[in-house]
């Protein structure tokens, strides 16, 4: 079970409000943020093998040691187009099937996240940290074949 600090909830609410103002449906907001964070973490750690002890030693985006790292990582995503790996990931991880709409929503979300990192760096670090820890927990729960099978039963 993950405990989310009250400041992080407020920060997520702030992001959600800003995304709402950009016309992004509520059903897509958290998935967009999570997929963007996962994309950044995958770029940083393509083997997806980072663990908590590595995270504590790392001076990186997933370690969220500095505002510049998060802002730079968001900026380094670059120009988005329907063929961009992040857009493909967004389409697979959300209910947004139109590639143009996925591109538009992703651009808006990145812009809002960069503004948030600029205005509230500690809150943005907290969001990255919590999403990273949640991801580590998911990775540890997977079997070697990548499934979530435990004792022969699917768990959801």
pLDDT one-digit tens code per residue, 5-37: 445 555 778 888 899 999 999 999 999 999 999
Q: Give me the torsion for CA of 44, 2, 18, 79, rounded to 10°.
A: 20
Residue 108: partners with Cβ closer than 8 Å, 6 or more residues away: 19, 22, 23, 24
Task: Copy the structure tokens of residue 147.
Answer: 């499934």
Closest to 98 (Cα-Cα) out of 6, 25, 15 = 25
Task: Choose between 148 and 100: higher pLDDT.
Answer: 100
| Distance from C-alpha of 148 to C-alpha of 142, rounded to nearest angstrom | 5
Burial of residue 112 (CB within 10 Å: 0-12, 13-18, 19+) is buried
pLDDT of 147 above 80:
no
The pLDDT of 134-151, averaged and rounded, is 53
The pLDDT of 107-131, averaged and rounded, is 89
Q: Identify the pLDDT of residue 23.
A: 93
pLDDT of 133 above 80:
yes
| Distance from C-alpha of 15 to C-alpha of 21, rounded to nearest angstrom | 10
Residue 154: partners with Cβ closer than 8 Å, 6 or more residues away: 147, 148
| Distance from C-alpha of 35 to C-alpha of 30, rounded to nearest angstrom | 8
Q: Identify the pLDDT of residue 45.
A: 61
């Amino acid at each position: 079970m993950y405990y989310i600090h009250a400041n992080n909830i407020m920060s997520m609410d702030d992001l959600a409000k800003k995304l709402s103002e950009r016309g992004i449906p509520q059903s897509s907001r958290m998935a967009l943020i999570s997929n963007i964070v996962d994309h950044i973490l995958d770029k940083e750690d393509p083997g997806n093998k980072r663990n908590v002890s590595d995270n504590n030693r790392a001076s990186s985006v997933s370690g969220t040691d500095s505002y510049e790292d998060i802002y730079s990582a968001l900026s380094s995503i670059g120009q988005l187009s329907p063929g961009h790996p992040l857009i493909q990931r967004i389409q697979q991880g959300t209910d947004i099937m139109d590639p143009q709409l996925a591109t538009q929503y992703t651009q808006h979300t990145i812009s809002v996240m960069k503004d948030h990192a600029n205005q509230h760096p500690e809150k943005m670090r907290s969001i990255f940290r919590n999403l990273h820890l949640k991801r580590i927990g998911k990775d540890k729960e997977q079997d070697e074949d990548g499934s979530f099978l435990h004792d022969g039963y699917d768990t959801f």
